[in-house]
Amino acid sequence: MDIFKKKEKVIESVNTKEVEAAQVWMVSWNARYGEYSHSIKRVAKAFLNEDDADMFIESLKKAATLLQYTEGLSIQKTLQE
């Protein structure tokens, strides 16, 4: 007596279509929230152009210098896949 029967679902066809997409560059860094050194959040901005992302990174570095910020920001730039 078969109480359990194995069921398998087979996909017969896959509908595909081409869509437009954009490359997105993410710039992320540690932002300080609160009084203590461990009070940080990882924040990010997205850019459609790598040059804009690079200019933003330079702006972050200059702002940290201007503010005499001594902790590392851990700035990272990544291309989203």
- pLDDT tens-digit map of 21-76: 889 999 999 998 878 878 889 999 999 999 999 999 999 999 999 999 888 899 99
Residue 26: name the closest of 63, 80, 81 by CA: 80
What gap in Å lies between CA 14 and CA 58, rounded to an integer?
Answer: 45
**What integer pLDDT is reported at residue 66 of this predicted model?**
95
10 Å CB burial of residue 29 (0-12, 13-18, 19+) is buried
Q: How crowded is residue 20: how many other Cβ atoms within 10 Å of its Cβ?
A: 4
- How are strands ordered across the β-sheet holding 40-47? 40-47, 25-32, 76-79
